[in-house]
């Protein structure tokens, strides 16, 4: 008993730092500088202690459960359970919060005297606190309170820049969708309580055999809708591309890199912990959802010119990739194949970690750009590498990582995901094999399109000539922003370099789950290489790193000792064919992605508008300018949400007719309701 007291004290110390940071920011709200420093200081140190807490849990193998006792409500207890899986998600929250909080010290300054910094600091710290409580709660009622804290505080962060009406609209949509999702989560929790007579996660797990299969299927659907809405799974994603860009960039990094993973955590906790065993179709359904989300997410990202919306759509893509690993794990386990299931879930957790790092880095880099250019439209960028070289480097690292280019971390988790899908193709019966082939093909398409998308994003943002006057006034961001971005960029490289050891470490976390006890490992590490069982596949991070360094050294050597050797360099005007070079001669982000959009026009349904300006009415064959505008509507909004909205609106219009204002009619309604209730009781 005494051995767990110290971790409990440290855990509550972590929570208290964020509480003090939030309340203190509120108290110092009249002093922008003090409120910002107070908020950032306590968030930084809370995150550092959180990392120390995770190390203590993992190294000593703690699996701690503790409660503060039952409060007024007999079913509600402030109870926590922190095993290795919880500790892993606490690690991700603390790690990304640390760098985002360092970044915030300098980034928040542009809000001074414009908005209340104390409120920003309060909601920011409470947001992190809510996420920590979500992944450590072991009682449904406490979990739902923590879920609401996380959701409400993130809503206020989304609408923080409230002078832009689009941000307020995005926040409203987020609020609606998150509470629709919460309603389904509550229904799932109530069904679990009905058959296990408890809201405690461990009691539910012990009595899971009492839950009929039909009820489990309903719980699965409710959980997918509830947690899938928070995670941004298609088709429940419509809030995400609007809400994530609206928030301050360090908050966008946390929402996209961390918050959406809380839905993944709870799916793992429910499907593999509370109500196991589950039918095989659950895993296959997740594979299909993951395939659709990954492919459609990257396609929508390709169409975007708003840099933060582009990144938000890539979060949908990467959640889809994580679902491929989770779906594979559920499928293998349901077919009594725990060894490949272990590989699949390890790949899912690995990509969860990797996405948290490179997506946070990209959002922080985007915030650095927007802070200097005052626009999110990539069409107005260009040539920023000359003015913001460090930001360009960090964005390039994030772009390579998210595009799964070695030696950065994104490559290795996607490679593991491919290996798990290949195992399904090799080992499973025909029906399941076809689903795995579909998933592998979707992942391959996703990887290629992601690379094309970030070639567009990096090229349109940093290369060529500036396309607006704002660019010439841009300068490199302040030191705290560079530290926040640089720290995560270094992590992307280090995680890639030590990917083999990290994969084994994550495998041990997966083995801590009851369903994987005594499961044989499917992979091993030889030096810096990951080797899948029986030579099925292997990859060396060290070899990729050495090759990467050699290529860079070769390029520098050729430039320095071959091209420039004994040559006098003169700078002169570029030959312009007799006309002035202008930004309109550059390929735009629209022009770059046009061909890909047209290939997938059957899915994306783009609308094309041609605007032509002539010199005069007589010179119709010699236009002055041509403009092509791509319009794109989310097919899920057009074919699902808008018809649903119209149907609900029509039903509401008919329903309001019963509000006649006649007291006798209302008494009649009550009488009919009582009769129906009595008949129901008699029938029972």
Task: Kindly write down the DSSP assignment for every residue of 571-622, as one continuous string.
Answer: --PPP-TTS---GGGSPPHHHHHHHHHHHTHHHH--EEEEEEEESSTT-TTS
Q: Which tokens sit at 247?
A: 């928030």
Sort strands 523-526 and 529-532 into parallel, antiparallel or unpaired: antiparallel
Q: Is the pLDDT score of 484 beyond 80?
A: yes
Q: Which tokens sit at 88?
A: 């892993």
Q: Any idea of the CA torsion for 17, 22, 26, 30, to the nearest 10 degrees?
A: 80
- Measured CA angle at 426 (ends 424, 432), to 5 deg: 45
Rg value, the chain, Cα = 27
Bridge partner list, 609: 629
DSSP-assigned letter for residue 513: S
Q: Is the pLDDT score of 70 beyond 60?
A: no
Stronger pLDDT, 336 or 470, i.e. the higher one: 336
Residue whose structure tokens are 């069409």: 379
Contact 50, 87 (CB under 8 A): no
Q: Which tokens sit at 123?
A: 């909601």
The residue-averaged pLDDT of 493-504 equals: 92
- What is the C-alpha separation between 426 and 406, in angstroms, rounded? 26
φ, ψ for residue 466, nearest 5 deg = -60, 140
Residue among 42, 32, 34, 38 at smallest CA distance from 117: 32
Residue whose structure tokens are 């949908």: 316
Taken in order 468, 471, 473, 477, the sign of the CA dihedral is positive
Contact 485, 393 (CB under 8 A): no
Q: Which tokens sit at 591?
A: 């022009």
pLDDT, tens digit, for every residue of 426-450? 889 888 999 999 999 999 999 999 9
The residue-averaged pLDDT of 379-405 equals: 93
The set of residues, in sequence order, having a beta carbon less than 8 Å from that of 295 and lying 6+ positions away, is 317, 320, 442, 445, 446, 449
Q: Which tokens sit at 22?
A: 């939030």
Q: Which tokens sit at 73?
A: 């409500």
Which pLDDT does position 679 carry in this prediction?
A: 85
Residue 34 neighbours by CB distance under 10 Å: 17
The residue-averaged pLDDT of 365-378 equals: 92
pLDDT, tens digit, for every residue of 554-600? 888 887 776 666 666 677 776 767 666 666 667 777 777 777 777 87
Residue among 261, 166, 263 at smallest CA distance from 222: 263
pLDDT, tens digit, for every residue of 201-210? 999 999 988 9
The set of residues, in sequence order, having a beta carbon less than 8 Å from that of 349 and lying 6+ positions away, is 88, 325, 506, 509, 510
Contact 375, 470 (CB under 8 A): yes
Which pLDDT does position 473 carry in this prediction?
A: 84
Q: Which tokens sit at 118?
A: 């104390």
Mean pLDDT of the chain: 87
Question: Where does residue 163 rank: exposed (0-12), middle (13-18), buried (19+ CB within 10 A)?
Answer: exposed
User: Which DSSP helix (H) or strand (E) runs through 141?
Assistant: helix 140-158
Stronger pLDDT, 406 or 69, i.e. the higher one: 406
The set of residues, in sequence order, having a beta carbon less than 8 Å from that of 406 and lying 6+ positions away, is 412, 496, 541, 544, 545, 548
pLDDT, tens digit, for every residue of 326-351? 999 999 999 999 999 999 999 999 99
pLDDT, tens digit, for every residue of 266-318? 999 999 989 988 899 999 999 999 999 999 999 999 888 889 999 999 999 99
Residue whose structure tokens are 């997740």: 286
**How long, in residues, is the chain?**
684
Helices (H), 270-408: 280-302, 307-334, 338-373, 389-402
% of residues, the chain, pLDDT over 70 = 90
Q: Any idea of the CA torsion for 110, 116, 118, 124, to the nearest 10 degrees?
A: -70
- What is the C-alpha separation between 8 and 31, in angstroms, rounded? 35
The residue-averaged pLDDT of 393-410 equals: 94
Band (pLDDT 50/70/90 cuts) for residue 18 is very high
Angle between helices 430-462 and 589-599 (to 10 degrees): 160
Band (pLDDT 50/70/90 cuts) for residue 95 is very high
| Every domain of the chain and the residues it spans | 286-560, 585-635, 638-683
Exposure pattern of 13-27 as b/e (b: 16+ CB <10 Å)?
Answer: ebbebbebbbbbbbe
Which pLDDT does position 538 carry in this prediction?
A: 81
Which pLDDT does position 37 carry in this prediction?
A: 94
- What is the C-alpha separation between 7 and 481, in angstroms, rounded? 32
The set of residues, in sequence order, having a beta carbon less than 8 Å from that of 119 and lying 6+ positions away, is 25, 26, 29, 156, 160
Which pLDDT does position 6 carry in this prediction?
A: 86
- What is the C-alpha separation between 507 and 56, in angstroms, rounded? 18
- What is the C-alpha separation between 457 and 262, in angstroms, rounded? 28
Between 144-158, 530-544, 618-632, the lowest mean confidence (pLDDT) is in 618-632
Stronger pLDDT, 679 or 259, i.e. the higher one: 259
- What is the C-alpha separation between 395 and 306, in angstroms, rounded? 15
DSSP string across 419-474: HHHHHHHHHS-HHHHHHHHHHHHHHHHHHHHHHHHHHHHHHHHHSSS-SSGGGGG-
Residue 511 neighbours by CB distance under 10 Å: 18
Band (pLDDT 50/70/90 cuts) for residue 2 is very low
Residue whose structure tokens are 């879930």: 345
Question: Where does residue 147 rank: exposed (0-12), middle (13-18), buried (19+ CB within 10 A)?
Answer: buried
* DSSP helix, strand, coil percent of the chain (3-state; round to 5): 75, 5, 20
Residue among 271, 396, 243, 411 at smallest CA distance from 328: 271
Biggest CA–CA distance in the chain, Å, is: 102
């Amino acid at each position: 008993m005494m051995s767990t007291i110290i971790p409990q004290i440290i855990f509550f110390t972590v929570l208290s730092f964020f509480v003090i940071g939030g309340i203190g920011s509120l108290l110092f709200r009249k002093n922008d500088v003090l409120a910002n420093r107070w908020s950032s200081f306590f968030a930084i140190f809370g995150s550092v202690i959180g990392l120390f807490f995770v190390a203590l849990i993992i190294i000593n193998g703690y699996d701690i459960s503790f409660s503060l006792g039952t409060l007024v409500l007999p079913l509600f207890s402030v109870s926590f359970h922190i095993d290795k899986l919880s500790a892993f998600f606490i690690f991700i929250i603390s790690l990304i919060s640390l760098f985002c909080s360092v970044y915030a010290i300098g980034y928040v300054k542009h809000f001074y005297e414009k908005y209340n910094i104390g409120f920003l600091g309060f909601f920011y710290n409470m947001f992190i606190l809510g996420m920590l409580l979500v992944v450590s709660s072991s009682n449904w009622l406490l979990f739902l309170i923590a879920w609401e804290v996380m959701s409400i505080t993130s809503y206020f962060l989304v609408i923080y820049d409230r002078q832009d009406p689009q941000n307020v609209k995005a926040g409203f949509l987020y609020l609606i969708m998150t509470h629709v999702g919460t309603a389904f989560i509550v229904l799932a929790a109530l069904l679990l309580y009905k058959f296990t007579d408890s809201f405690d996660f461990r009691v539910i797990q012990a009595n899971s055999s009492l839950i009929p299969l039909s009820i489990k299927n309903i719980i699965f659907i409710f959980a997918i809708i509830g947690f899938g809405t928070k995670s941004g799974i298609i088709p429940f994603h419509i809030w995400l591309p609007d809400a994530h860009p609206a928030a301050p960039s360090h908050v966008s990094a946390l929402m996209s890199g961390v918050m959406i993973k809380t839905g993944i955590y709870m799916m793992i906790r429910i499907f593999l912990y509370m109500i196991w065993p589950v039918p095989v179709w659950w895993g296959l359904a997740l594979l299909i959802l993951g395939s659709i989300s990954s492919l459609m997410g990257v396609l929508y990202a390709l169409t975007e010119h708003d840099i933060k919306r582009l990144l938000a759509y890539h979060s949908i893509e990467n959640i889809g990739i994580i679902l491929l690993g989770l779906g594979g794990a559920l499928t293998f386990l349901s077919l009594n194949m725990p060894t490949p299931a272990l590989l699949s879930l390890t790949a899912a957790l690995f990509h969860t970690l990797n996405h948290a790092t490179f997506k946070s880095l990209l959002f922080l880099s985007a915030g650095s750009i927007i802070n200097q250019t005052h626009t999110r439209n990539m069409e107005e960028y260009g040539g920023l590498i000359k003015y913001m070289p460090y930001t360009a480097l960090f964005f390039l690292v994030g772009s390579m990582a998210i595009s799964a280019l070695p030696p950065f971390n994104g490559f290795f988790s996607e490679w593991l995901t491919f290996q798990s899908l290949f195992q399904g193709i090799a080992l499973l019966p025909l029906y399941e094999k076809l689903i795995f082939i579909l998933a592998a093909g979707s992942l391959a398409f996703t990887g290629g399109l992601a690379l094309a998308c970030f070639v567009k994003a990096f090229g349109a943002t940093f290369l060529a000539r500036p396309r607006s006057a704002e660019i010439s006034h841009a300068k490199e961001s302040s030191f705290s922003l560079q530290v926040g971005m640089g720290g995560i960029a270094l992590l992307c490289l280090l995680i890639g370099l030590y990917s083999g050891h990290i994969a084994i470490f994550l495998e041990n976390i997966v083995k801590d789950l009851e369903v994987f006890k005594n499961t044989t490992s499917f992979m091993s590490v030889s030096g810096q290489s990951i080797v899948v069982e029986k030579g099925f596949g292997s990859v060396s991070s060290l070899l990729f790193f050495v090759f990467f360094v050699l290529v860079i050294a070769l390029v520098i050597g050729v430039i320095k000792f071959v091209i420039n050797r004994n040559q006098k360099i003169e700078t002169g005007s570029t030959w312009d064919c007799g006309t002035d070079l202008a930004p309109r001669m550059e390929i735009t982000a629209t022009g770059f992605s046009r061909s890909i959009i047209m290939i997938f026009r059957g899915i994306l349904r783009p609308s094309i508008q041609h605007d032509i300006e002539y010199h005069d009415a007589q010179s119709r064959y010699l236009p002055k300018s041509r403009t092509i505008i791509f319009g794109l509507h989310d097919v899920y909004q057009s074919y699902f949400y808008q018809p649903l909205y119209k149907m609900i609106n029509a039903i509401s219009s008919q329903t309001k007719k019963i509000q006649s204002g006649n007291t006798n009619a209302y008494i009649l309604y009550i009488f009919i309701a009582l009769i129906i209730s009595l008949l129901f009781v008699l029938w029972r």
